[in-house]
């Protein structure tokens, strides 16, 4: 892991397309701005974990052909 110190208004670059800027610091909170192409999803970690869990659950569930037919009637 790379650890960097930045001040308000400073930023870091990830590759050529992603820029993370420090927008504000209040007490123990830091507000970041992220500029990235729309093709790159950006999530808070807790949301990312929920999405991964939901995807695993959906992949593991089984649906019968009859249940699918009922959905399309």
Residue 5 covered by a domain: no
What is 16-60 written as a DSSP string?
TTEEEEEEEEETTEEEEEEE--TTS----HHHHHHHHHHHHHHHH
> Residue 41 domain-assigned?
yes
Give residue-wise pLDDT tens across range 26-71. 999 999 999 999 999 999 999 999 999 999 988 888 878 888 888 8
Higher-pLDDT residue of 67 and 5 is 5
Q: Tens digits of per-residue pLDDT, 9-20?
A: 999 999 999 999
pLDDT at residue number 13: 97
- Which residues form the domain of 22? 11-71
- Whether 46 is in a domain gets the answer yes
């Amino acid at each position: 892991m790379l650890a960097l110190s930045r001040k308000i208004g400073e930023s870091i670059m990830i590759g050529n397309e992603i820029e993370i800027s420090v927008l504000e610091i209040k007490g123990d909170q830091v507000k970041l701005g992220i500029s990235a192409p729309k093709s790159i999803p950006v999530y808070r970690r807790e949301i990312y974990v929920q999405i991964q869990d939901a995807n695993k659950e959906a992949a593991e569930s089984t649906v019968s052909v009859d249940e699918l037919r009922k959905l399309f009637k």
